[in-house]
Structure 1
Amino acid sequence: MSPKSSIAKSADYHHGNLRNALIEAGRSALMDVSAQDLSLRYLARMVGVSEAAPSRHFAGIDELLATIAASGYRDLAALRVAIRDSEDTALSKAYRMMRVYVEFAQRHNGLFGLMIGPRIAAHQAYPELTDESNRSFGLFSDTIEALAIESGWSQADLKLVTHAAWSMEHGLATLILSNRAPRADTKVAIPKLIDFVLVTLLSAITAGPDHLQRVIQQCARAEEPVVARTARKRAKAS
């Protein structure tokens, strides 16, 4: 790596800020390389310090990567705090909470991949990462639950509603980043796809639990064996 590509010279670091420089270097590097390719040696070269210098702040590359991932969740949480504190309606906040997740993934592809991917095998081993991830999810789930309560869902159903919304935003984000959605043989615009998917899910939430029960009943009848369905119709006609 050339001197011009280094983020800073070692002489530019004062006691304590090498840690932050390594985090920023890691975030920058993830725009070009995968998390699997990062090492303390690689990042030390980026910031222009000795290969031993990072060990003063991180026990190893896994700890550094966990700290970088935590910084990503912290940034996402900050965006979600602004949405929570806005004057928007419960529906608008829920929409924005889900959309900001997808947009964050699009803007920070490599960082997002580190945050949700397999490179960090045990998130619970890193308290900062666990705390920041839980905080971001808590902001999201509180907003979805507020919309669900407003739409008539019971307390017993709130976690199901939240997980449905989480599955939708996360699945959509990962499909887009892996170039699996929209499919190559279609002409669906990504912004339109994002809007449609999120609004469809939110439409189901705002329709309320009674509507869900009607849909469940219709689906159950559709799965009913033809013989049983015919017998039921005959019984009604007699």
Structure 2
Amino acid sequence: IDLIILATSSPDVPMSSTAGIVQNKLGCTDCGAFDINAVCAGWVHALDVGSRFVGTVGYENVLVIGSEIYSRILNWEDRSTCVLFGDGAGAVILSEVPEGKGIIGSWLMSDGSGAGVIEIPAGGVRVPIPSENFEEGMQYFHMDGRAVWTFAIEAFPQAVLGVLERCGKKIEEVDLIIPHQANINIVKAGMENLGLPMSKTFTNLHKYGNTAGASVPIAMHEAMEEGKIAEGSLVVTVAFGGGLAWGANLIQF
């Protein structure tokens, strides 16, 4: 392994990187390691960044991880959030593949004006714990559910169409869309806005809930196990979340 990139919004500690902690536990003593925090869209960002290292001098194998433990950052008295999320992790190793295979391209976007829609208000340098501005509860995950819905049902299709246009592909060529497992109604609305049936997507929300930055790699692994992804499949991975951040990757298997 020449590089480790870990997408997480629930790091072990604010400093240093969780990727470095993972590197030490794996015994990968001769490689770089860093975190990416794009919340639920972290995986698609990390996959894009990792793909850009592969093939450059010194980077033959890049380990990309999505890992979250939301059970430790949720307010278990807030039933509007705590019942939605789960813990999980997924990983891939990126290496060079023949021309026309692998990650064909990505499309990433952010809107920092929506940073407060999904956040943990305290724990950073803006509101340290403790401080005169800190109030109990600010150390937990907060989400404006209505604003997230409005954002997600537009971001989902925008990212899918964005990466397809960038890569010169048509929606009809896509075999499977693997979305961030946020909410089944968001997935249904996103697929409807794309004009695609639910048979063109994969969901496992009923088993794990929303595992944030880990949801896409977990779903991709299970889709492969169930035979929904095979040699020759053209797949879009798409995610959206806090930041606000959203994006998609186009992958040719």
Pick the structure with more helix per residue.
Answer: 1
Higher relative contact order (CA closer than 8 Å, sequence separation 6+): 2
Asked if these proteins are the same fold (TM beyond 0.5), I'd say no
**Superposition TM-score, scaled by structure 1 size:** 0.22
**Bigger radius of gyration:** 1
Pick the structure with more strand per residue.
Answer: 2
